[in-house]
Amino acid sequence: MAPPILLWLRQDLRLSDHPALTAAAAKGAIIPLYVLDDDTPGEWRWGGASRWWLHHSLAALGKNLPLVLRKGRADDVIAEVLKQTEATSLHFTRDYAPWSPALESCVKKICDDLNVTCHRHGGFLLHEPEAIKNGSGETYKVFTPFSRACFASGEPRAPKPVPKFEIAKHGLKSDRLDDWQLTPSKPDWAKSFEGHWQPGEQGAQKALASFIDDALEHYADGRDRPDQPLTSRLSPHLHWGEISPHQAWSAIRAAMDRKLGKLDHSAEKFLNEVLWREFSNHLLVLFPDFPTKSYRPEFDDMPWAKSADHLHKWQKGQTGYPIVDAGMRELWATGFMHNRVRMVVASFLIKHLQIDWREGERWFWDTLVDADIANNAASWQWVAGSGADASPYYRIFNPVLQGVKFDPQGDYVKRWVPELKHVSAEFIHAPWNMPNPPADYPAPMVDHAQARTRAMAALASIKKEQA
């Protein structure tokens, strides 16, 4: 019997357009292994909402690919499985998290010591960080020239179909997925996620198809409207690798061709957003401390407030600002929040409450189903003004005006803040101006104008220290 090929699955939980699977399957019978490694990422082990998604994604993949599930340090488990099965080669998809280079080198060394060939494949990104560099051979630190360079580098390769594969006969024991207890039980706070998502490759393909059919045409104008379903909601699927960015890219290109240029403006906007994901990952490779340290170091001298009570009110959606509370409650109920509202709630935490951006990043890490080490860190630092190509700190969103502009009738607010269900559009984003505001909804926890003045003083203080 020919020796088996080990396929180590990571954030690539799909069968189609899967370079590592395709290469492994071409060599012989495979053993698909998934390792739940809570040790290697340390403080960045999967948060609660991610674990819920992972459970369902593995369950979906396991229907078509008999998985060997193991818990432990990935390098230890791989060494053990290679020895037990006498596999002659290992295939896996590259990952860009800060702890990955050390893990991947360790796995390579294990393979070398055991005389196993080790193959690392791309597939999570369209462009490897080494492939997109500026004229000086450095990683781009500004998005616009980065995206221009991506477009100029040519079309990403076309996606590939599911390869024919054979599963090796092996005597390995697999953990039972249920025994990992990835889904919450007492209480089951994720119960309400179920109606909103279909984790797994099929769900990812459905999300892409319905986005193209129902929303793409309106994406450029509508992507900032949380009251309307005009974005793709592909982020958790892309994060877990249930769909490759190549598949999304090529489907959008095909739709553009079908509609003979009518979709171009919206479609290009969408492709550009997909490139933000690439940009975040390239920056993370350049600056692996991105999730914990301000890219612009002066921001780490910001006089942050340490109010557990304020943080708690923000997390629970009890700030008294309807658009902020709607976003935080959407997050709690669904594991997701619309991008425009993510920017508003992040700005509110950092600037109105003067709370360190890392507190918000951690909360999102635990509560988002698309929690992604690169996108989350880059986005929080973008809002904080401390990132590479960030929004200036002094751009302080006014939560009332943001609500009026992007949720004009208050439909989004009413969906998530039932206390305001009967408030008219005129007052929905500032209910404290009503003659009789609803008694069960809190008054604003901070005054916008005062908060703005305090935030600007904090900015001035770090500039002064620098001078």
Ligand X SMILES: Cc1cc2nc3c(=O)[nH]c(=O)nc-3n(C[C@H](O)[C@H](O)[C@H](O)COP(=O)(O)OP(=O)(O)OC[C@H]3O[C@@H](n4cnc5c(N)ncnc54)[C@H](O)[C@@H]3O)c2cc1C
**Which residues are at the interface with ligand X (CB under 6 A)?**
223, 231-235, 238-239, 273-274, 276-277, 280, 339, 342-343, 346, 364, 368, 370-372, 375-376, 379-380, 383
Taking each helix axis from N to C end, the angle separating 201-214 and 245-258, rounded to the nearest 10 degrees, works out to: 30
Nearer to ligand X, 9 or 378 (CB): 378
Active-site position among 44, 46, 276, 382: 276
| CB 378 to ligand X: min, Å | 6
Q: Smallest distance, Å, CB 335 to ligand X? A: 11
CB of 280 to ligand X, least distance (A): 5
Q: Is 8 a catalytic residue?
A: no
CB 61 within 8 A of CB 201: yes
Question: Cα–Cα distances in Å, from 226 out to 204, 229, 324?
Answer: 21, 7, 12
Are 86 and 3 in contact by the 8 Å Cβ rule? The answer is yes
Alpha carbon distance 322, 433 (integer Å): 13
Shortest CB 73 distance to ligand X, Å: 25
- Do 372 and 430 form a contact (C-beta atoms < 8 A)? no
* 439: number of Cβ within 10 Å: 6
Whichever of 184 and 229 has its CB closer to ligand X, that residue is 229
* CB 419, min distance to ligand X, A: 25
How many whole angstroms from its chain centre is CA 337? 11
Catalytic residue among 272, 332, 339, 419: 339
CA–CA gap between residue 34 and residue 202 (Å, rounded): 19
CA distances from residue 251 to 90, 126, 219 in whole angstroms, order as listed: 31, 14, 15
The Cα–Cα gap between 220 and 231 comes to 10
Torsion over CA of 214, 61, 11 and 115, rounded to 10 degrees? -150
Catalytic residue among 357, 363, 365, 382: 357
The nearest distance, CB 390 to ligand X, in angstroms, is 11
Enter the DSSP assignment of 200: S
Q: What is the DSSP letter of 302?
A: -
Residue 387, helix vs strand vs coil = coil
Query: Which of residues 92 and 382 has its CB atom nearest to ligand X in the complex?
Result: 382
Query: Which of 223/414 has CB closer to ligand X?
Result: 223
For ligand X, the closer of residues 29 and 252 by Cβ is 252
Q: Side chain identity at 8, as an amino acid letter?
A: W
**How crowded is the C-beta side of 16, counted as CA atoms within 13 Å?**
16
Catalytic residue among 53, 365, 380, 382: 380
Using the minimum distance from each CB to ligand X, give the nearer residue, 273 or 411.
Answer: 273
The token pair that represents 404 in the structure block: 């009026």
Q: Is 288 exposed, middle or buried (0-12, 13-18, 19+ CB in 10 A)?
A: middle
Is 189 assigned a catalytic role? no
Compare residues 147 and 231 and give the one whose CB is closer to ligand X: 231
CB of 34 to ligand X, least distance (A): 21
Catalytic hit among 273, 332, 398, 419: 273
Minimum separation from the CB atom of position 45 to ligand X (A) = 15
Does 432 participate in catalysis according to the annotation?
A: no
Query: By C-beta, is 165 or 365 nearer to ligand X?
Result: 365
Q: Could you say which DSSP state residue 350 is in?
A: I
Specify whether 304 is catalytic: yes
Output phi, psi for 91, to 5 deg: -125, 140
The edge-to-edge listing of strands for the beta sheet with 68-71 is 68-71, 30-36, 5-9, 89-93, 117-121
- Active-site residues, by number, are 273, 276, 304, 339, 357, 380
